[in-house]
């Protein structure tokens, strides 16, 4: 992958998003949207390269409150347990606000419409963009995500322990926590490159370590409404991809997403958990590029 410049876009709402673009901007535009507390680095370079090789212009970015984008420190730390119990008063924003960030990035890039690819919480944001700003979406790919219906997509007890583990107190502890988490929620059917994971975790820590921002993401997810009824009304080419071994977002979340979207194709990948192992990159790139071609 050639080195690209990290740029920043003012997307409104007092937020700037850091982003990178790859490939030829005359090609179809694909926005890669990452998940809860996770930086754009989690879109592997090899997967980005595979998408570019299939004739796509790829943009990946840090959501608000992670990486090099704006961190809303003044918003404080929400009471996550209260939000989970239904008291959403401490949640400073919702997925709809993050969807507006994405639309603001499209504006900054001069894109009227784009193909959205979201993983985990990124899939939830992509769904929200398609629901609230359908005129900006050419196609929707939702990976290892869910609908917001709490009856589906629930994490296992092991995965919950990872999600609610106390914040790391040092760089090395943050790196080890990442590796421990991957061992729980990663892909048992595919080889894990722990050296690469360690390097990415170190780079993520060095770019920005903000546990309160992660809590704000979690609160945004839990405070947002069930999208199922709105997804049923969407008229957009859609692809839903989910790992059959996902412990963080149960595969029922992916099946429910595909069931709600009228035109969605569901792809379940055996051995894939809640990550993007190298063994699935070409398959994902083929599927996404195929959806882009069919949408055109």
Please compute the mean of the pLDDT values over residues 245-267 and round it to a whole number. Answer: 98
Phi, psi dihedrals of residue 215, rounded to the nearest 5°: -65, -40
Can you tell me the distance from the alpha carbon of 173 to that of 166, in angstroms, rounded to the nearest whole number? 11
Query: What are the tokens at 109?
Result: 């890039």
Give me the residue label for tokens 């029922």: 252
Catalytic (active site) residue 133: no
Query: What are the tokens at 140?
Result: 């929707």
Query: What are the tokens at 194?
Result: 């722990």
95 secondary structure, DSSP code:
H
Phi, psi dihedrals of residue 34, rounded to the nearest 5°: -95, 175
pLDDT bucket at 261, cuts 50 / 70 / 90: very high
Burial (CB count within 10 angstroms: exposed 0-12, middle 13-18, buried 19+), residue 296:
exposed
Residue 248 CB neighbours (<10 A): 26
Pick the catalytic residue from 65, 101, 246, 250: 246
Catalytic (active site) residue 294: no
Please compute the mean of the pLDDT values over residues 239-246 and round it to a whole number. Answer: 98
C-beta of residue 213 within 8 angstroms of C-beta of residue 39: no
pLDDT for the residue numbered 49: 98
Residue 76 CB neighbours (<10 A): 12
pTM for this prediction: 0.97
pLDDT for the residue numbered 4: 74
pLDDT for the residue numbered 3: 52
Pick the catalytic residue from 65, 204, 274, 275: 274
* Buried/exposed 123-141: b ≥16 CB within 10 Å, e otherwise: bbbbbbbbbeeeebbbbbb
pLDDT for the residue numbered 1: 55
User: Domain coordinates of the chain in residue numbers?
Assistant: 7-154+211-295
DSSP 17-63: EEEEEES-TTSPEEEEE--TT--GGGS-HHHHHHHHHTT-EEEEEPP
C-beta of residue 76 within 8 angstroms of C-beta of residue 219: no
Question: What percentage of the chain reaches a pLDDT higher than 90?
Answer: 96
pLDDT for the residue numbered 296: 85
Which ranges in the chain belong to alpha helices (H)? Answer: 45-53, 80-84, 95-109, 121-132, 157-163, 171-185, 194-207, 211-223, 228-232, 251-260, 281-295
CATH class of 7-154+211-295: alpha beta
Pick the catalytic residue from 69, 120, 204, 252: 120
Query: For the chain, what is the mean pLDDT?
Result: 97
Catalytic (active site) residue 246: yes
Please compute the mean of the pLDDT values over residues 167-196 and round it to a whole number. Answer: 95
């Amino acid at each position: 992958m050639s080195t690209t410049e990290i740029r920043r876009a003012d997307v409104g709402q007092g937020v700037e998003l850091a982003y990178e673009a790859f490939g030829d901007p005359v090609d179809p535009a694909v926005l890669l949207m990452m998940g809860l507390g996770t930086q754009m680095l989690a879109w592997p370079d090899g997967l980005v390269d595979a998408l570019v090789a299939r004739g796509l212009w790829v943009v990946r970015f840090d959501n608000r409150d992670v990486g090099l984008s704006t961190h809303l420190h003044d918003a404080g730390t929400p009471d996550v347990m209260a939000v989970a119990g239904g008291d959403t008063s401490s949640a400073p924003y919702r997925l709809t606000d993050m969807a507006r960030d994405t639309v603001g990035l499209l504006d900054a890039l001069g894109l009227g419409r784009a193909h959205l690819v979201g993983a985990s919480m990124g899939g939830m944001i992509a769904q929200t963009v398609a629901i609230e700003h359908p005129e900006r979406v050419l196609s929707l790919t939702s990976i290892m995500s869910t609908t917001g219906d709490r009856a589906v997509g629930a994490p296992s007890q092991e995965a919950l322990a990872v999600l609610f583990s106390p914040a790391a107190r040092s760089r090395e502890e943050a790196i080890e926590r990442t590796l421990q988490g991957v061992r729980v929620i990663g892909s048992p059917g595919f080889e894990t490159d722990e050296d690469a994971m360690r390097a990415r975790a170190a780079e993520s820590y060095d770019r920005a370590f903000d546990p309160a921002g992660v809590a704000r993401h979690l609160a945004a997810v839990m405070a947002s409404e069930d999208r199922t009824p709105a997804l049923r009304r969407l008229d957009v080419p859609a692809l839903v991809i989910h790992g059959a071994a996902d412990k963080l977002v149960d595969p029922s979340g992916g099946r429910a997403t595909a069931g709600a979207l009228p035109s969605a194709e569901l792809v379940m990948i055996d051995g894939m958990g809640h990550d993007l192992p190298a063994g699935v990159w070409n398959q994902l790139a083929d599927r996404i590029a195929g959806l882009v071609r069919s949408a055109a």
